[in-house]
Structure 1
Amino acid sequence: MDVKYDLTSYVRVLKLASTPSWEEFSQIAKIAGAGIFLVGLMGFLIFAVMAILPLGGV
């Protein structure tokens, strides 16, 4: 494990990184929010179907 090499590669990546503009940030936030909403909606629909349908058995 070469710590000096690892640190220089981390510093190189941080130098390339930049702060996103407001438009870029808002677009990413909208897409992430839509994804979270869709996953929650799918979970709720699965819960609702499982609560309505009889499980069968005894």
Structure 2
Amino acid sequence: MDVPLELSAYTRVLKLASTPSWEEFSQIAMIAGAGILLIGLLGFIIFVVMNAIPGV
């Protein structure tokens, strides 16, 4: 395990990384929020169906 070599690789990646613009950040946040809402809605629908059919 060569620690200096690994640290230089991490440094190179951090130098290439850039902060996203506000438009890019807001688009990613909206897509992630929509995914969270979709998963929550799916879980709620499964919950309602499981309570509506007591034998399941």
Using the size of structure 1 for normalisation, the TM-score is 0.92
Structure 1 runs, 4 residues or longer, greater than 2 Å off: none
Unaligned runs of 5+ in 2: none
Backbone CA RMSD of aligned residues = 0.9
Amino acid at match of 2:38: L
The equivalences for 1:1-58 within 5 A come to 1-55=1-55
Higher relative contact order (CA 8 A, sep 6+): 2
- Deviation track 1:1-58 (CA, whole Å, cap 9, x = no partner) reads 11011100000000000000000000000000000000000000000000001216xx
Give, as a single letter, the amino acid of the residue that structure 2 aligns with 1:24. E
Measure, in 2, the Cα distance between the counterparts of 1:3 and 1:46: 49
Length-normalised TM-score, structure 2: 0.95
Q: How many residues align?
A: 56
Structure 1, unpaired ranges of 5+: none
